[in-house]
């Protein structure tokens, strides 16, 4: 069985791809904040709607095999309802999106810092992951502190965050690649 670090090193290019995509997204968000904000809200609504439909179909299809079937059903219905609200009330959705992104960013940042602490004994340069986690935490706290700054400001913050996080992911992916090469004997 592969350890987490060896698995990550084997698939270092996925983290590199995530970094490149984050940088591309960040650049687009900074270049076109208005359309990016509108697209984010519509994409969120569409995603939630599709997620709810697929969840409902799965729930109905596997009803007899599901242990907590009512929880699965409620999850699907909640996604459907949230998708409809997002598409019909984009202004309300933008504020809710801001708060959800803020919460996600803080939680993801804390988890990345925790992972970096666990990785510190396995690789050098784990501070890149910790730095990415700290950036996510700061970003989330700023969003909570400035909710009325507006969705365009949120898009600018998202753009800057995506650029910084993309750079961190690229640096970490290259570090993982070097680790994988040294673990295989320098091939």
Mean pLDDT per block of 10 residues along the chain (187 residues) reads: 71 90 92 84 86 87 80 87 87 80 90 85 79 91 79 82 93 90 72
Predicted local distance difference test score (pLDDT) of residue 152: 76
pTM for the model: 0.53
* Exposure string over 35-63, b if 16+ CB within 10 A, otherwise e: ebbeebbeebbeebbebbeebbeebeeee
C-alpha distances out from residue 26 to 33, 44, 63, 121, 146, Å: 10, 17, 42, 32, 20
Predicted local distance difference test score (pLDDT) of residue 126: 76
Predicted local distance difference test score (pLDDT) of residue 70: 85
59-105 pLDDT, tens digit per residue, is 888 888 877 778 888 988 998 998 898 889 887 877 887 888 889 99
Predicted local distance difference test score (pLDDT) of residue 116: 85
Predicted local distance difference test score (pLDDT) of residue 135: 93
The DSSP string of the chain is ---HHHHHHHTHHHHHHHHHHHHHHHHHHHH-HHHHHHHHHHHHHHHHHHHHHHHHHHHHHTTTT-TTHHHHHHHHHHHHHHHHHHHH-HHHHHHHHHHHHHHHHHHHHHHHHHHHHHHTTT-S-THHHHHHHHHHHHHHHHHHH-GGG-HHHHHHHHHHHHHHHHHHHHHHHHHHHHHHHHHTT--
Predicted local distance difference test score (pLDDT) of residue 1: 47
- How far is Cα 176 from Cα 37, in angstroms, rounded to an integer? 34
């Amino acid at each position: 069985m592969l350890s987490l670090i060896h698995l990550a090193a084997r698939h270092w290019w996925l983290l590199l791809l995530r970094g490149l995509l984050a940088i591309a997204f960040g650049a687009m968000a900074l270049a076109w904040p208005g359309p990016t904000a509108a697209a984010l809200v519509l994409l969120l609504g569409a995603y939630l709607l599709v997620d709810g439909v697929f969840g409902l179909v799965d729930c109905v299809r596997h009803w007899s095999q599901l242990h907590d079937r009512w929880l699965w059903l409620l999850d699907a219905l909640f996604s459907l309802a949230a998708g409809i609200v997002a598409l019909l009330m984009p202004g309300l959705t933008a504020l809710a999106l801001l708060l959800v992104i803020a919460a996600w960013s803080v939680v993801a940042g804390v988890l990345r810092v925790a992972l970096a602490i666990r990785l510190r004994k396995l690789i050098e340069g784990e501070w890149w992951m910790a730095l990415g986690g700290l950036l996510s935490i700061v970003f989330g706290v700023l969003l909570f502190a400035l909710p009325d700054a507006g969705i365009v400001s949120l898009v600018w913050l998202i753009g800057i965050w995506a650029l910084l996080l993309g750079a961190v992911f690229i640096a970490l992916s290259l570090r993982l690649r070097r680790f994988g090469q040294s673990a295989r004997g320098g091939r």
